[in-house]
Structures are given as C-alpha cells and as structure tokens.
Amino acid sequence: MGLKAFWDEKVVPRIIKCACASPAIMELRAGIVPQAQGRVFELGCGGGLNQQFYDPARVTGFAGLDPSDKLLDYAREAAARKGWQADLRAGVGEDIPFPDESFDTVVCTYTLCSVNDPAQVMRELHRILKPKGTLLFLEHGLSPDAGVAKWQRRIEPVWVPLMGGCHLTRPVTAPVLQQGFQLEAPGHRYMPGMPKWAAWMEWGSAVKRA
C-alpha cells in the first residue's frame, strides 16, 4: 500500500470522525437529525455520528451509504449500540443503489464537500425522495465574505488531498434550491473556535416539490 492509499484509507477516516464530532458540530447535528421521520436515508453515514440523534419512535426504516469501509465499520458499531436494523452500504452519492421515491427523509451532513459531482448527487437525493419528502442538510462551505472566501481558495489546493477530497469553496444552499427543493428553516453561521476559512456552516430542511 502506497503512502497516499494508506493516508486515505487509514488516517483520513479517523481525522474525519474526530473533527466532525466536536461539541459545537454535534450540537448542530442535534438540531437537524431528530427531524427525520419515516423511512430515512443518510448519505455519508460513515462514522455513525448522527445515529444517536434519530428518534426510533419517528423512524420506520434506516439506510445509509458511504464510500469508506472504515467509516462504515464505525457506523455499523453505532447501529449495534442503538439496537436497530440498518441497511448500510458501500457506495457513492452519484449512484445511489435505491429505487425512485424510496424514502420519506434524506439526511446529508458534512458530505457534499467531498463528493466528486455535487450536482449529480443532488439529483440522486431528489430522485430517491418521495414527493413532499424532506432533505435535511448540514454542511460547511463557501463563506459569503470575500476576504474569507479568498483564503478558502488559497488553502483549498493543499486541504483537498490531505482531507479526503474535502473542499472549502463549495456553495451549500444554492444547489439545494437549483434541484427543485423548497427551502424551509435555513440557518447559517461561523462555527466558534475555528478559523473562519473552515468555519462557515449552512443547514436547513428542504421539501421535494410534488
């Protein structure tokens, strides 16, 4: 195994699991994930960090997808601790292996930054949602402040290969609207205690138009 493969397969999953579990980020997750209901699909389910926030009384089925075998191991461990059945598969968001209109809720947290084709991923999320189904999203991305965005563009070429393909300059909410969702309850802020070039967060719920 070469150095890059070792880094991507062994080191990056541990960095992601640690970085994405900070108290401030977990607080944001706790505000978004419990809204999920019905049959739920989570894109980027690896790590299992969201599972503690799902309400079993509201969720009738749970499935997820992640490209990282190591992160999927963490997710399966989280499912075992929660004591529920979870259909967790290896795969990518550009080609989700579920039929059209399969889910009532789709959850996507800290994932769109690292996919290869964000527009195709959004089309797939839209496809697998039932009419009037809900997309719950929480992502970091491009700052609205020109000075911060300038630093994001400078740092990104070094950041992407070190952080498993994570981008700093991708817009978050705009692609949701472009795909035909109706946005509800949006939120955004800089995460305290982080450098601003990595701290811009956007979240919300969006309904698939019937």
* More confident position, 4 or 31: 31
Q: What is the mean pLDDT of residues 95-111?
A: 97
Three-class HEC string of 50-75: CHHHCCCCCEEEEEEEECCHHHHHHH
Let me know: does 202 contact 186? Beta carbons within 8 Å: yes
Q: Report which of residues 179 and 89 the model is more confident about.
A: 89
This prediction has a pTM of 0.93
Whether the pLDDT of residue 16 is over 90: the answer is no
What tens digit of pLDDT does each residue of 35-52 get? Answer: 999 999 999 998 999 999
Q: pLDDT value at position 1? A: 62
Q: At 129, give phi and psi (nearest 5°).
A: -80, 140
Q: What is the pLDDT of residue 180?
A: 84
CA-CA distance, 80 to 5, in Å (whole number)?
29
Average pLDDT, integer, range 171-186: 90
Neighbours of 189 (CB within 10 A): 11
Higher pLDDT, 15 or 165: 165
- The full set of domain ranges for the chain reads 3-109+120-140+171-190+202-208
* CATH number of the structural domain 3-109+120-140+171-190+202-208: 3.40.50.150
Closest of 45, 183, 61, 176 to residue 121, by C-alpha: 176
Strand partners, 206: 135, 183
Q: What is the mean pLDDT of residues 160-175?
A: 92
pLDDT value of residue 178: 87
